């Protein structure tokens, strides 16, 4: 990422003037090579999560660049009906760049079974369907040391 910025507009109060902005991320430059890990440390509210979201393009950076595997991610947005949306390329990249939430309840819907949860992304990206999908879920559970009987829980 190069000079990455995310500024959030705030509602201006009665006495209008220019609405103040929260500079949640304000000019971050860094790079991570394959196999490397980058730790980001800072007090609560300093912008760590916002930076992560901007790197993944879960929110559109105000300025700056994020390059992944030679692709300029910030160029992969399209404007549709006046709003920025992900291009198909960016959507496809979701298989290779994603967030792992600290709190599992933020990513795992407790009303879904283990099988539904594991199958969902495979369905979304047309990796498998029907019996092949069922089999794939079973294999994945085995691979991480979970009893396939947990599927229905
Ligand atoms: N969607 C948003 N709209 C407005 N302000 C936001 C939004 N998301 C985060 N912020 C603000 O940006 C700053 C950084 O937040 P955050 O990235 O969550 O910090 P951290 O993860 O380091 O605790 C905070 O002041 C937060 O209130
Ligand atoms: Mg955070």
**Measured between alpha carbons, how far is 125 from 92 in angstroms, rounded to an integer?**
8
Find out whether the beta carbon of 71 lies less than 6 Å from any atom of ligand 1: no
28 CA to middle of ligand 1, Å?
A: 15
Q: What is the pLDDT of residue 20?
A: 85
Instruction: Tell me which residue has its CA closest to atom 14 in ligand 1.
Output: 47
Rounded distance between C-alpha atoms, residue 116 and residue 152, angstroms: 9
pLDDT for 66: 98
In this prediction, residue 104 carries a pLDDT of: 82
- Ligand 1 and 116: CB distance under 6 A: no
Give the whole-angstrom CA distance, residue 16 versus residue 14. 6
Residue 47 in contact with ligand 1 by CB distance below 6 A: yes
- Block means of pLDDT (10 residues each) for the chain, 153 residues, are 95 72 96 95 96 96 96 96 95 90 84 95 93 96 93 93
């Amino acid at each position: 990422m190069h000079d990455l910025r995310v500024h959030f507009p705030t509602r201006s109060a009665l006495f209008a003037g220019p609405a103040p902005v929260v500079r949640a991320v304000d000019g971050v430059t860094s790079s991570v090579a394959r196999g490397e890990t980058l730790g980001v440390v800072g007090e609560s509210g300093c912008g760590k999560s916002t930076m992560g979201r901007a790197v993944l393009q879960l929110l559109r950076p105000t300025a700056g660049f994020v390059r992944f595997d030679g692709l300029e991610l910030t160029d992969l947005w399209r404007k549709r009906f006046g709003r920025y949306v992900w291009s198909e390329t960016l959507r496809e990249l979701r298989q290779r760049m994603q967030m792992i939430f600290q709190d599992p309840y933020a990513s795992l819907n407790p009303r879904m079974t283990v099988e539904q949860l594991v199958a969902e992304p495979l369905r979304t990206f047309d990796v498998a369907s029907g019996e092949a999908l069922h089999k794939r879920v079973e294999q994945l559970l085995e691979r991480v040391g979970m009893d396939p009987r947990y599927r229905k829980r």
